[in-house]
Structure 1
Amino acid sequence: MQFVSNGFKSASWLLYAVIVMEIVFMISPFGLYYYSFYGFPLRALTQYKWGSFLTGFFLPHFTRTSSPLISLLQGMGWPLLWLGLVLFAMGFVQIYGSKLVSVLNRGKRDAGPVDSWLYGNVRHPQYVALAVAGLGALLVWPRFLVLFSYVTMLFLYYSLARFEEHRCIMKFGEEYRQYLDNTNMFLPFKIDFPSLEDLIPSRNVRVCIYVSLYAMAILASLGIGEQLKKHTVESISAVYLPETAIVSPARLEPTELEDAFRLATNNPNVKTALNRDDTPASWLVYVVPKQWYIPELPLGIISSRIPHKSLRDFNRNQLSVLFTKPLSHAQPTGGKEILLSAYGFRPVVAAEIDLSENNVLKVTHPPATLAWGKIPTPLL
């Protein structure tokens, strides 16, 4: 009995070591992708003109648009993220359940390659799952840097998949070769076309082609992202003046934006605050329903405010007007260019107004820095 207990403990520790090492190996590209969401790279990139572009968003994060395409993409984010995580968990259970059987048998019976259930449809379901989860995360937090990292992650997973297949051929031989012939790499249906290895015998030439494809994919994805950003700017509620962009995360009419802007700027306290800021930058002005709470806009956390995504109806007369200085490495030539070139903003003054009474209810001075400090936040 003691022998059985010791054997089980040894098998458990061996399984644990195998799982930890393989998970670290497998998750590493997704981990690098995940950390592109956070502080250090974002703060560092804003110091440079080319780098600040990468910290920007190519889809709106808290703003509603009139575009069905953007609405569709925004709605797909969380479902894809959870779908990917569930598929990854299913693949994890399948592959490491097989390893557990192999370890507990202590080499008496090799479990062989896993080629059923998820692995019967695609050869690398966990990589597919992480790609789906990564796409969902990209749509939830759509920075250009995250897009760049996502494409990089996909190419890294392709390389890891090829490496694993060569290793499995060495381990399982002809049995695994038959599995390769009968199962597609990433899609649940078979596509018959020759691999790069079959077409080009030279490894050096294949590496050059692979790097070239990666570079083209990066440029193409960033180009698509830039077009989506321009489409976003065209689809939001906004009024563009020569040196001012007046925008709203809600679907307000241009006349409502203009009336709110005029009422706020005519207030003496607001005028004083605007005149006190003598920096030459243009103005980025947000007009927000007073009931809404948007963490990215420093309008205060007030108990009466409601998270904007849960509130479709709102009082169109009760509004908050936030005046900010856009942060940019280039001086915009017009109001629309402010949104296309800025990587952040500095709050100056805010006013709560009532359009029905043509009255400014309150003027406040928001903090000069946001809760995230120097980490660039979405503009829309």
Structure 2
Amino acid sequence: MMNHESMQAYGLWGLVIVNSAVFIFFALSFFKPKTRTDWRSFSAFSAFLVALFAEMYGFPLTIYLLSGWLQSRFPQVDWLSHDAGHLLEMMFGWEANPHFGPFHLLSFALIGGGFWLISKGWQELYAAQKAKTLATHGLYARMQHPQYLGFILIMTGFLFQWPTLLTLAMYPVLVYMYVRLAKREERAAEAEFGELWRQYAQKTSRFIPFWRKTTSTNG
């Protein structure tokens, strides 16, 4: 059972709502979904965030389920404390404040980079749509789907910061969803722009900048 001190670290459902709303609306302000498919993918991303913050501030289900295994292998850690939710820092023996641990700092870089990709990608895509042309400049000169990559980086960052069983299970499903959406958008772009799209697709990868250029040069 959780003691009184650990319960004060959790059960903060107001923080669950506030943090979920802030991150969801922040992403929404940049992504701006239009189609039903866009809304479905964004809803899945939102569910990921809610599941994450529910364990971060509401109830630590993952630690509760793994408490026996964790306590037997890492007896020096107080797994009922809030800091113990930073599982990677705890398991790798980071003794200082986990908020300044290597995995936490890496998560900040990934989350920040993800939001930047979503924001910058939307600006460039909106400009291209307004001009009724194919987006091929800026980020789109390096990859075809910077916004989807942004969502994947954000989720990856949160997993490094606060991994949970539920978000770990949701992660590959969401990545698969974004890959499918990317392929669907590619077919639509090819139907609209034809040869212009095919030439562009030969020079850029879906998510990893210069991947096709590198692989084609080496092989």
After superposition, the C-alpha distances for 1:307-351 in whole angstroms (9 at most, x for unaligned) are xxxxxxxxxxxxxxxxxxxxxxxxxxxxxxxxxxxxxxxxxxxxx
**1:114 partner SS:** coil
The answer to whether residue 192 in structure 2 is matched with residue 171 in structure 1 is: yes
Q: Which runs of 5+ in 1 are unaligned?
A: 1-18, 103-110, 194-380
| Counterpart for residue 295 of structure 1 | none
Q: Please list every run of at least 4 consecutive aligned residues from structure 1 whose deviation after the TM superposition is greater than 2 angstroms.
A: 22-29, 43-46, 56-68, 190-193
Give how far 1:129 is off: 1.1
Q: Which runs of 5+ in 2 are unaligned?
A: 1-31, 71-83
Give how far 1:89 is off: 0.6
Aligned residues: 159
| Counterpart for residue 6 of structure 1 | none
Return the structure number with greater relative CO, CA threshold 8 A, min gap 6. Answer: 2
The answer to whether residue 60 in structure 2 is matched with residue 30 in structure 1 is: no
The answer to whether residue 179 in structure 2 is matched with residue 158 in structure 1 is: yes
What is the rounded CA distance, in whole Å, between the counterparts of 1:190 and 1:63 in structure 2? 35
| Counterpart for residue 66 of structure 1 | 93
Give how far 1:20 is off: 4.2
Q: Is the 1:29–1:157 Cα contact (8 Å) retained in structure 2?
A: no
Q: Is the 2:41–2:177 Cα contact (8 Å) retained in structure 1?
A: no
Distance 1:184-1:65 versus aligned 2 partners, 3 A rule = closer
Alpha-carbon RMSD across the aligned residues, in angstroms, is 3.6
Distance 1:58-1:155 versus aligned 2 partners, 3 A rule = farther
Structural mapping, 1:136-151, within 5 Å: 136-151=157-172
| Counterpart for residue 129 of structure 1 | 150
What is the rounded CA distance, in whole Å, between the counterparts of 1:190 and 1:39 in structure 2? 37
Letter paired with 2:43:
S
What is the rounded CA distance, in whole Å, between the counterparts of 2:40 and 2:141 in structure 1? 23
TM-score by length of 1: 0.36
What is the rounded CA distance, in whole Å, between the counterparts of 2:187 and 2:198 in structure 1? 10
Give how far 1:38 is off: 4.7
**2:34 partner SS:** helix
| Counterpart for residue 233 of structure 1 | none
Aligned with 2:115 (options 75, 80, 85): 85
Give how far 1:118 is off: 0.3
**1:37 partner SS:** helix
The answer to whether residue 48 in structure 2 is matched with residue 21 in structure 1 is: no
Distance 1:45-1:160 versus aligned 2 partners, 3 A rule = farther
What is the rounded CA distance, in whole Å, between the counterparts of 1:21 and 1:87 in structure 2? 18
What is the rounded CA distance, in whole Å, between the counterparts of 1:189 and 1:139 in structure 2? 26
**Larger fraction in strand:** 1
**1:115 partner SS:** coil
Give how far 1:132 is off: 1.1
Distance 1:189-1:62 versus aligned 2 partners, 3 A rule = closer
Identity of aligned residues (%): 22
What is the rounded CA distance, in whole Å, between the counterparts of 1:97 and 1:183 in structure 2? 19
What is the rounded CA distance, in whole Å, between the counterparts of 1:32 and 1:187 in structure 2? 26
Letter paired with 2:110:
L
What is the rounded CA distance, in whole Å, between the counterparts of 1:142 and 1:117 in structure 2? 33
Letter paired with 1:31:
S
Distance 1:64-1:155 versus aligned 2 partners, 3 A rule = closer
Q: Is the 2:104–2:160 Cα contact (8 Å) retained in structure 1?
A: yes
What is the rounded CA distance, in whole Å, between the counterparts of 2:105 and 2:139 in structure 1? 26
**Larger fraction in helix:** 2
Letter paired with 1:37:
L
